[in-house]
Amino acid sequence: MSSRISVIGAGYVGLTTSACLAHLGHNVICADIDADKVVSLQNGIIPIVELGLAELVAEGMASGRLSFVVGSVEAAKSCDIAFLCVPTPQGEDGSADLSYVQRAAQEIAAVLPFEAIVVNKSTVPVGSTKVVEKALKRPDVKVVSNPEFLREGSAVQDFLKPDRVVIGSDDQAAAMKVASLYDGLSTRVIITDPASAETIKYAANAFLATKLSFINAIAAICEGVGADINDVVVGMGSDKRIGENFLRPGPGWGGSCFPKDSRALIKIAEDADYSFDLLKGVITVNDQQFDRVVQKVVRSIDGDVSEKTIAVWGLTFKAGTDDLRDSPSIEIVKRLIAKGFRVQGYDPTVTQQKTGIPNDLEISFSPIEVTVNADVLLVLTEWDDFKWISPSTVAISMAGKQIIDARNLLDRKDWERAGFTYQGIGR
Ligand SMILES: NC(=O)c1ccc[n+]([C@@H]2O[C@H](COP(=O)([O-])OP(=O)(O)OC[C@H]3O[C@@H](n4cnc5c(N)ncnc54)[C@H](O)[C@@H]3O)[C@@H](O)[C@H]2O)c1
């Protein structure tokens, strides 16, 4: 059965949720406070890079099931179910800042139809369902937690083919109504209480971050003992209890979720009288990983930083997205600039105008242009395009012949044949 849905927030989660729910047959009004973003969307222009999203938005708009409005009130006044998909950035003490969620709830409180349901899809700490209830002051409106697990870069695929849907509510009827929105998907629906649903989201992200820090630590050991991390990953990951997912070493983890969510979980634990030392260690190892990459660069030019230029391939926190929020690449670039390097960067989705580019980082238009006169080439994001670039073309444009492949993306032998000294991670 189709429902009337409003989605508050047209970002990575809100826009994907809107387009996918419209695809499943629901009538969706998606709202944002950013008027420019809404006008773009109304004109069919998608403000983010996300595979398959533009097609789904176009399909929804053409069917009449998906529309965009400025402001939450306009969207919420005629809905059965309102999804909150607004930011929950890191607050000063590490906890999640709930002010966007509270504000959105307060905005829609007066206009929500009788017995509507509000669904919290933003990542929020345990107890936030109550926070939303308090902000709404509407006893007839039930609040349900429905955390989102999509990954940027494959958001549409993840939404439409999820590993599970988690719904947290103390009200069985409200939980079932939200669960029915996903009827078109063949997946496991886990219905639980709000605190468990909220914990599942943080625990999942913290565990994935732990896997990444763990494999980066093993990679550091591999370098010391002369082992090859790629073989170690295959050997470890073939064990079904472990699996290969999230066991790829890299420059450190980042993005809009893991850093803030792991800090928020440490704070949640603290408030629950538990010191989450394991997760604190995971964050420390990640910070060390950024420095390990910087040290590789410094060592590659024998410690002589003066007048040296570093070309960086990849600035987003992962391939397939244009998102620079808490990107490991940006963090590493900042540390390189602080050391006195001149840094020039290239990313297929990033221009100089994009928010989040450090002041002293020069953005190039092509992966070859960025290497002109560079002493070291540093690969920080795993864009597939980089694999097909000829090392001999790069060799001609660079001043030095050092490559540091922090994603183990490229073929070492090809680069060595072109005269480069190749360093990967953990091999
Ligand atoms: N990005 C991800 O990969 C991802 C995955 C799972 C969960 N989450 C969580 O989902 C939430 C949203 O994340 P995101 O990446 O989509 O954020 P985002 O910053 O991309 O989008 C949030 C949008 O909400 C809008 N907004 C803020 N207040 C509003 C209001 N009162 N009314 C209407 N619009 C409003 C902003 O203008 C923005 O466009 C966060 O809690 C995040 O942790 C994100």
pLDDT > 90? residue 42: yes
Q: Is 307 left (phi over 0), alpha (psi -120 to 50) or beta?
A: left
Tell me: the pLDDT tens digits for 129-172? 999 999 999 999 999 999 999 999 999 999 999 999 999 999 99
pLDDT > 90? residue 1: no
Tell me: the pLDDT tens digits for 349-387? 999 899 999 999 999 999 999 999 999 999 999 999 999
- Exposure pattern of 306-342 as b/e (b: 16+ CB <10 Å)? eebbbbbbbbbbbbbbbbbbbbbbbbbbbbbbeeebb
Strand partners, 96: 90
Is the CB of residue 123 less than 8 Å from the CB of residue 153?
no
Instruction: Kindly give the number of the ligand 1 atom that is closest to the alpha carbon of 155.
Output: 3
Q: CB within 8 A of 210, min separation 6: which ones?
A: 278, 279, 282
Average pLDDT of the segment spanning 258-271: 97
Nearest CA to ligand 1 atom 36: 9
pLDDT of 257 = 97
Is the CB of residue 361 less than 8 Å from the CB of residue 343?
yes
Q: How many alpha carbons fall within 13 Å on the CB side of residue 260?
A: 20
pLDDT mean across residues, the chain? 97
Q: Which of 40, 51, 73, 86 to mutate to test the pocket of ligand 1 (most atoms within 8 A of CB)?
A: 86
Nearest CA to ligand 1 atom 27: 86
Q: Is the CB of 13 under 6 A from ligand 1?
A: yes
Q: Which of 32, 121, 152, 354 to mutate to test the pocket of ligand 1 (most atoms within 8 A of CB)?
A: 32
Q: Is the CB of 145 under 6 A from ligand 1?
A: no
SS3 category, 186:
coil
Average pLDDT of the segment spanning 173-185: 97
Is the CB of residue 180 less than 8 Å from the CB of residue 1?
yes
Is the CB of residue 125 less than 8 Å from the CB of residue 198?
yes
pLDDT of 392 = 98
Q: Is 52 left (phi over 0), alpha (psi -120 to 50) or beta?
A: left
Tell me: the pLDDT tens digits for 60-107? 999 999 999 999 999 999 999 999 999 999 999 999 999 999 999 999
Instruction: Kindly give the number of the ligand 1 atom that is closest to the alpha carbon of 103.
Output: 31
pLDDT > 90? residue 118: yes
Is the CB of residue 320 less than 8 Å from the CB of residue 154?
yes
Tell me: the pLDDT tens digits for 17-27? 999 999 999 99
Average pLDDT of the segment spanning 188-200: 98
d(CA 305, CA 336): 10
d(CA 391, CA 376): 13
Q: Calculate how far, in angstroms, residue 115's C-alpha sits from the geometric centre of ligand 1.
A: 25
Q: Calculate how far, in angstroms, residue 276's C-alpha sits from the geometric centre of ligand 1.
A: 27
Average pLDDT of the segment spanning 108-124: 98
Instruction: Kindly give the number of the ligand 1 atom that is closest to the alpha carbon of 31.
Output: 33
Q: CB within 8 A of 134, min separation 6: which ones?
A: none
Q: Which of 7, 8, 12, 154 to mutate to test the pocket of ligand 1 (most atoms within 8 A of CB)?
A: 12
Task: Specify the pTM.
Answer: 0.96
257: annotated active-site residue: yes
Q: Calculate how far, in angstroms, residue 158's C-alpha sits from the geometric centre of ligand 1.
A: 17
Catalytic residue among 20, 30, 85, 257: 257
